[in-house]
Amino acid sequence: MALYIRLALRAMRVNRLRALLTMLGIVIGVASVVVMVGIGSGAQTRIRGQIASLGANLIVIVPGTTTTGGVRVGTGARVTLTEGDGEAIRREIPGVVAVAPTWQGTGQTIVGNLNWGTRITGTTPDFFEARDWDVALGRPITAEDLESAPKIVVLGATVARQLFGAYDETGLAADGQLILGQTVQVRRTPLTVVGVLDSKGQTAGGQDQDDVVLIPITTAKLRVLGTSLANRRSVHSLMVEVADASLLHTVAEDITDLLRQRHRLAPDAEDDFSIRILADIFAAMEGVSRILTLLLTAVAAVSLVVGGIGIMNIMLVSVTERTREIGVRRAIGARQSDILAQFLTEAVCLAVIGGLLGLALGVIAALAIGAFAGWTIVLSPLAMAVAVGVSAAIGVFFGWYPARRAARLDPIEALRYE
């Protein structure tokens, strides 16, 4: 085998330009496959990260469509959920770990001459467990905070940076002041900073999760965002954490039954709430990403087939050019199997070297795309090995016919060939 490889490499050195052009299809094909798989795997990894950042096994309940006086309004147009609904879900639905009601709005946060517009979320201690969100500095909202509606706030990482600049792990800002204990005006209400959240990053839709401030839900309703007396117990959403992913749909069905009963909905009436299982949404996104990756990879793999046809074409030309050489080899004792192995090895070497060059080009291109576009790229060693292996298989498949044709040449006719 070593002899056949040396002969193949020598033949390629003799015709360097032709060998390079022959390998070009394989190079482009393998590079394209590596890039497409890297981008697709990166997208799937990012989606899984988004699921983890939003909170494990999370169900979000929001107000649904309602009809009043014959007028039908859309999702969220009317508040139909209450803190009592959340308490009932926590108390009566098996498998529920945490239920976090939220009362939300937007507004300016101000420190000195700096201000930043952000999302304001009033919530309960269960929010941190449901969203799997820790505090990097200070403390979270506690149950005691809900009783007295204190003027306190927990800042998201983005808000903290915008108001105080860079800060270290102790909460010391660049100007030498500690973030904890500072007074921040949120919608002109002075609140004391008691904590700073860990960074969560962006969602799949590009929304900055860290651009938020958290306050006790009682503080939100009574001091900051306000609410009418009729809506004092109402909430904008309920975040429900389930103990196990396998229970998500069962819990969602139980919640539907419970809320319909609590809201006294007729059997033929529509739900006045909407239940969203985030894992299902992201699973659908991941499925679409996987399908697109397969389609793009299949398109890229066409280049491998084109490259294989190019190898077969050049090998047939090579057999014709080296007919007398084949005749001489047969005359001095070479067997058909020797000629077959020689030309087949040459075809495989063309394909494998092209595959390795394509692999290097694909890795460089994938890393460059990730750096310039800011995309997550995941290079799979298995995918790269398969790409090179497929290129070798293409060399065998498309090199078999020319090698077999060379092996079957009649030695006497080959020696007479001009």
Is the residue at 62 inside a domain? no
Same domain, 171 and 232: yes
Return the pLDDT at 319: 83
Is the residue at 352 inside a domain? yes
Give the domain range for residue 130: 81-262
Domains: count for the chain: 2
The C-alpha atoms of residue 140 and residue 146 are separated, in whole angstroms, by 12
Return the pLDDT at 72: 45
Is the residue at 56 inside a domain? no
Of 262, 291, 306, the position where a domain reaches its end is 262
Same domain, 171 and 208: yes
Q: Is 187 helix (H, G, I), strand (E, B) or coil?
A: coil
Same domain, 85 and 25: no
Same domain, 120 and 243: yes
Residues 318, 10 contacting (CB under 8 angstroms): no
Is the residue at 72 inside a domain? no
Same domain, 298 and 253: no
| Residue ranges, the chain, pLDDT below 70 | 1, 4, 7, 47-56, 65-78, 203-206, 229-230, 281-286, 414, 416-418
**CA nearest to 64, candidates 275, 298, 264, 346:** 275
The C-alpha atoms of residue 191 and residue 214 are separated, in whole angstroms, by 11
The C-alpha atoms of residue 241 and residue 244 are separated, in whole angstroms, by 9
Same domain, 134 and 41: no
Return the pLDDT at 68: 45
Return the pLDDT at 46: 74
Same domain, 134 and 192: yes
Is the residue at 219 inside a domain? yes
Is the residue at 23 inside a domain? yes
Same domain, 214 and 345: no
Same domain, 385 and 237: no
Task: Tell the residue number behind the tokens 């959240």, with chain if given.
Answer: 197
**CA nearest to 132, candidates 76, 206, 209:** 209
Of 204, 229, 262, the position where a domain reaches its end is 262
Strands 189-197 and 152-155: parallel
Please name the amino acid found at residue 60.
V
Is the residue at 47 inside a domain? yes
- How distant, in Å, are the alpha carbons of 87, 91, 245, 248, 275 from that of 94? 13, 8, 13, 11, 17
Is the residue at 273 inside a domain? no
Of 262, 294, 310, the position where a domain reaches its end is 262
- How distant, in Å, are the alpha carbons of 67, 269, 319 from that of 266? 13, 5, 83
Same domain, 47 and 142: no
Same domain, 210 and 103: yes
Same domain, 197 and 323: no
